[in-house]
Structure 1
């Protein structure tokens, strides 16, 4: 009898203990767990060749170089549209512009990204992350589409590009109707941004980011830092003015490099660097009509086109002990893949509707030639569908479209003039001809046929009623 009573007591105790034990399938966020913090630094119009890990430069970016040495540099990273709002919406939602219907660059007071689409911040916040945004939003300038209502616990910055103000070089009368506000945590802190304010933007967003890290290092956090620079008009603080010796653009890039160093140092000082994944990239390529106030790319054309000078962006990912240090990858993936990849990495729940990106963690970790989960990627310019790339990045097909080219005359913040050109259906071998110079459609009819089929399927799905 005593043995039976003892059995029941032990059984009851085990049930009680098991009932208090977290489900092994649930994500927990205890300090020191493997759930990573995420820092996403996303520049505006920075070119592929603006940083020393990618090309030789005449100014110094030691912190970005160190970030590359601590992680992996990706030479074949793309955005699906080389224009501000569309690029950011794709990044934040994992969807093509054709699905989320955010094309081009939205002006002040625009509706922006429809709230039916979940942002990366909303996804991570639902999973217990503290979220912070400091920089340029450009995904909506109405009450329910600004960042404080799109998943960010803390925010500070501007709602659209820094040239959309009364000092616009081409149309100041129009833009002067919309005084640029500086927001903080859902409230306007500066009614009308001036040049003196813009000079401090990089410093302010860096200080906000460091403070955010200092206060939230005991739990998982998502820090999104979309700097307004080096989008024109260029501004730099007094501490970096003239420092590069190469002109204002170099000064701006050195200040951005300083910002990266400050953020990394904050992670180190708070003991969370090892458990933080840092992603550093740009929304698209350089705005070439601004000449000495734009960056440089070795690829064809620039911002506002679907050639690689527009849609191929620099990318560095650093995640200590997970991503091999000081390595370079030629694996191809697009910004739409980052949201589902981070969802898998953090155990977060993706939205219940179809998204276009896929988990590419194996590509990020893998050797060159790791098989891509995507059959193809599509690219657009505004609402104009312009072609597809094979999932492995080896082939790129343009369907017939117009594009801007050969800007001349711009200097010191005044844009030059573009010429207009046309391209017919064209296939490029991106392994041997990454500069898209030689149309090889006649030499590879089977590849062209396959990509044309993908192009028609994509057009029918997103661009035809």
Structure 2
């Protein structure tokens, strides 16, 4: 199969003799403004701020999508999620990534890396109708990871168990697990029927099987000894990550550390409960920072921090109210989770995908930088490939472009055009932000405004904003600049026509 060298904005930047370890910290629902360096009020993030002081703080980096499953798909495959029609998955969905697709961990493993994933998965498992009492596959091990320790979907969905490699942890074969997202198959109480048993109130969608005092999406029977305790996530996940790092300290490794924090349900451990005036959301921001610090301490203790490239970022923008009554809105105070940007998780506006990001690598990256280059997590694939001198086969990671010079702080040049995905497609081009209209026959969803209290940004009309003059995306100037609208829509149309092919 023909191969291509990943495209870049600047030549001759690899120039490295040793392969760095690579860690991607992928926080869940952390908004642009939710770290200290970006104006956080009501909590503190000293560990994350330390990474920024020692590396690069980016101002215009985007998650590939405004929701979790599509962002993770795009980051790991180098393909826009719309090519797969990827959406937020139920907890019993089949594996979204085709095992024949050559993924980011595949590429890194072929370059000599040990590869591991720890934390929230939410990319589906198995081929459908998973039997949780047997080996659950295909999964991470079939798409390039050597090791996995997972929350199978998210904390607000069943099954509420850990999955290590192919098997549920601590499962008693005499108490098998059954999961249904269609009907109640369990004798466990539900939140909708017994709200008096809940530690947090929940909407109807999140009001099914109660586990650890929290009602979840979906129904689960059995598996009592395998059930997780949400408050244990920080120590449990950081511990598994540290074990993986320690095991592979003498060889290059790639760790994808996917936080559950600060996603709902927000259940901080006793160490952080009540620490923030913002309530539970502020508490889990403290906890997320602490968890980051635990993993970084492992690197320092092993003496390998200097040659580890650490990426800290988030899977999409912030959301406050997302199914549970944890007083995140009432206790917000003066804090602005998306910073100066409009929208948030689910939204087509900048707050949906513009997320905090830090790159830290003491051996290579000059400390104390700020970088304004525009690019997306979808570009990790081609950037790492260029760093390691790996060729990308034709038809693989087709939407990924190397941003290595910017990622290393050697350039401020970003993408000329960058796609933003939500419930419509958007496009960034310098100061211009374009949002493609949705079809007139399609109703504009109102759940963002009415249930999430987030400005969705969708319209039946083309929308164009000048972000230099209108950072809040309040003034649609599409009619005044039809030539820019035509340029942006034409670019989107050309991108949509490109096809991908399996590669393994």
Same fold (TM over 0.5): yes
Are positions 1:181 and 2:161 aligned together? yes
Matching residue within 226, 245, 248 for 1:213 = 245
Are positions 1:268 and 2:297 aligned together? no
Q: Which moved more, 1:343-352 or 1:449-458?
A: 343-352
Deviation at residue 77 of structure 1 after TM alignment: 0.7
**Cross-structure match for 2:185:** none
- Higher RCO structure (Cα 8 Å, ≥6 apart): 2
Matching residue within 125, 138, 148 for 1:141 = 125
**Cross-structure match for 1:328:** 370
Separation in 1, partners of 2:24, 2:369: 20
Separation in 1, partners of 2:494, 2:377: 21
**Cross-structure match for 2:407:** 364
Matching residue within 231, 234, 237 for 1:202 = 234
Separation in 1, partners of 2:418, 2:393: 21
Is this contact kept in 2: 1:183–1:190, CA < 8 A?
Answer: no
Q: For residue 33 of structure 2, give the secondary structure of its aligned residue in structure 1.
A: helix
Deviation at residue 309 of structure 1 after TM alignment: 1.2
Is this contact kept in 1: 2:113–2:254, CA < 8 A?
Answer: yes
Give per-residue Cα distances to partners, 1:213-242, cap 9 Å, x unaligned. 222111101111101111111121122222
Give per-residue Cα distances to partners, 1:317-372, cap 9 Å, x unaligned. 111142221111111001110111011112334344241111111223457752x4
Q: Which moved more, 1:445-454 or 1:233-242?
A: 445-454
Match runs of 1:39-50 below 5 Å: 39-50=23-34
**Cross-structure match for 2:321:** 289
Is this contact kept in 2: 1:339–1:357, CA < 8 A?
Answer: yes
Distance change (3 Å), C-alpha of 1:289 and 1:129: same
**Cross-structure match for 2:218:** none
Match runs of 1:51-450 below 5 Å: 51-142=35-126, 143-165=136-158, 179-190=159-170, 194-195=211-212, 197-290=229-322, 292-293=327-328, 296-298=337-339, 299-354=341-396, 355-366=398-409, 369-370=412-413, 372=414, 374-381=415-422, 385-390=424-429, 393-401=430-438, 402=444, 404=446, 407=449, 422=459, 424-450=461-487
Whose radius of gyration is greater, 1 or 2? 1
TM normalised by structure 2 equals 0.75
Is this contact kept in 1: 2:101–2:143, CA < 8 A?
Answer: no
Deviation at residue 203 of structure 1 after TM alignment: 1.4
Q: For residue 37 of structure 2, give the secondary structure of its aligned residue in structure 1.
A: coil
Deviation at residue 139 of structure 1 after TM alignment: 1.5
**In proportion to residue count, which structure has more helix?**
1
Separation in 1, partners of 2:408, 2:55: 10
Separation in 1, partners of 2:489, 2:315: 27
TM normalised by structure 1 equals 0.81
- Give the alignment's Cα RMSD to 1 decimal: 2.7
Structure 2 spans left out of the alignment, 5+ residues = 1-15, 127-135, 172-176, 178-209, 213-227, 330-335, 439-443
Deviation at residue 98 of structure 1 after TM alignment: 2.7
Is this contact kept in 2: 1:405–1:418, CA < 8 A?
Answer: no
Q: How many residues align structurally?
A: 408
Q: For residue 279 of structure 1, give the secondary structure of its aligned residue in structure 2.
A: strand
